[in-house]
Amino acid sequence: MSQEIAHWLDNLLEEIEGIEIRRKSSRRVRVDVPADALPALLELLQGRAGYIHLSAISCVDWIDDEEFELVYHVWSYENHSLVSAHIRIAREPGVYLSVYDLYQPAAFFERDIHEMYGIHFEGSPNMGKFILTEWDGPPPMRKEFDSEAYINEHLSWQEYNPPWLQALIAEGGGVVIPPEEQRFSRKKS
């Protein structure tokens, strides 16, 4: 990205107070913004800077900080650069504002995040089930959800010890890690 565009973009972003800009590469800008300033930022970017394409909203579950991190990736076709706006919202009420009125594709991203993380977006057109139509358990992507415990309870594992494997184990060979310890789940409890 040529110098003067980068320069121009920087002082444009300066208008949002409490903004922290980190230029990752010539075409990537990471911006950290307080939660309530995001809509203004997006409007600014969409309106004046030509960032008309919201390519994705991703979400990170910082269970230790009791916070969710939402990242809005916005792309501009004129100056070929991506701005990813990072915001942090509290984990407990897990409610945030929808940007559907600015970017229509946001409806699907928000619906997906709602299904996977349980974050409720105010004003989003449809907060129903998205992909996991048969799923009525807790939002699975949240850190406190233990997938293995769910599997142990609902599904069943394949006990696979054919005669030739038992003979091998009988002679002391066979698998180094016994099957019950093969689980990599961090949950040691």
Partner 1 sequence: MSSINQIPVIEAKRGNPLSKVFDELVRFCRSRSLFILHYCTGCGAIELPPAMTSRFDMERLGIQPMVSPRQADILLITGYVSIKTLKRVILTYEQMGSPKYVIGICSCTVNGGMYWQSYATAKKLDEYMPVDLYIAGCMPRPEAVIAGLQQLMNRIQSGEANSWEDYFRNYDYYLGNQQKLFGDNWQTPTDIITEAKHYNLMGEGTFGEHTRLLEQHQKPLEALDMRLGHNLKEPTE
Q: Which is nearer to partner 1, 26 or 185 (CB)?
A: 185
Using CB under 8 A as the binding rule, whether residue 160 contacts partner 1 is answered as: yes
Smallest distance, partner 1 to C-beta of residue 109, A: 20
Q: How far is the CB of 147 from partner 1 (least distance, A)?
A: 5
Spatial strand order in the sheet of 20-25: 20-25, 28-32, 81-90, 67-76, 53-62
- Tell me how long the chain is: 189
Please give the C-alpha separations between residue 21 and each of 7, 25, 28, 51, 118, in angstroms, as whole numbers: 12, 12, 11, 16, 29
Closest approach of Cβ 174 to partner 1, in Å? 17
**Least CB distance from residue 65 to partner 1, whole Å?**
25
Residue type, 166: Q
| φ and ψ at residue 53, rounded to 5 degrees | -110, 110
Structural tokens at position 159? 């006990």
Q: What is the DSSP letter of 182?
A: G
Give one word for 123, left, alpha or beta, with left for phi > 0 and alpha for psi -120 to 50.
Answer: left
- What DSSP designation does 70 have? E
Task: CB nearer to partner 1: give 26 or 166.
Answer: 166
Site string for partner 1, 129-158 (x = CB under 8 A): ---xxxx-x--x----x-xx-xx--xxxxx
Q: How far is the CB of 25 from partner 1 (least distance, A)?
A: 32
* x/- letters, 58..87, toward partner 1 (CB under 8 A): ------------------------------
- Is position 177 an interface residue for partner 1 (rule: CB under 8 A)? no
**Interface of this chain with partner 1, residues 96 to 135, rule: CB under 8 A:** 132-135
Task: Kindly list the residues in this chain that would bind partner 1 in the complex (CB under 8 A).
Answer: 132-135, 137, 140, 145, 147-148, 150-151, 154-158, 160, 185
